[in-house]
Amino acid sequence: MIEQVKYDDLVEGQQYFVIHKRGAITEGDLIYHGNRYFKYPNSRAIFQIVDMYHFYRYVSKYEYYMKVKEKYDDKCLNIVLKRLVNEHFEW
């Protein structure tokens, strides 16, 4: 699964798939080094990217299922609390 990430939410050291907003230029997999600097995984060269790109990251199955489980647990907890105590916190 792939998730689009805002530039402000990029994590240093994590790998991202970068695509030019016009769709013409595909950068591919890049590692974020902070302050708009990226590098290819097997390269030592670091370069800067401007705001004209979309950033995507790979979400593992485990991470996806953990997010789904958290939402499920929250929903179940709310159902149980509404049965024990109504929405106005009255018995």
Predicted pLDDT of residue 68? 95
**pLDDT tier, 24 (very low <50, low <70, confident <90, very high otherwise):** low
pLDDT in tens, 42-87: 888 888 887 788 889 988 999 999 999 999 999 999 888 888 887 6
Residue partners of 46: CB distance under 8 A and separation at least 6:
33, 37, 38, 39
Three-class HEC string of the chain:
CEEEECHHHCCCCCEEEEEECCCCCEEEEEEECCCCEEECCCCCCEEECCCCEEEEEECCHHHHHHHHHHHHHHHHHHHHHHHHCCCCCCC
The full set of domain ranges for the chain reads: 2-59, 61-91
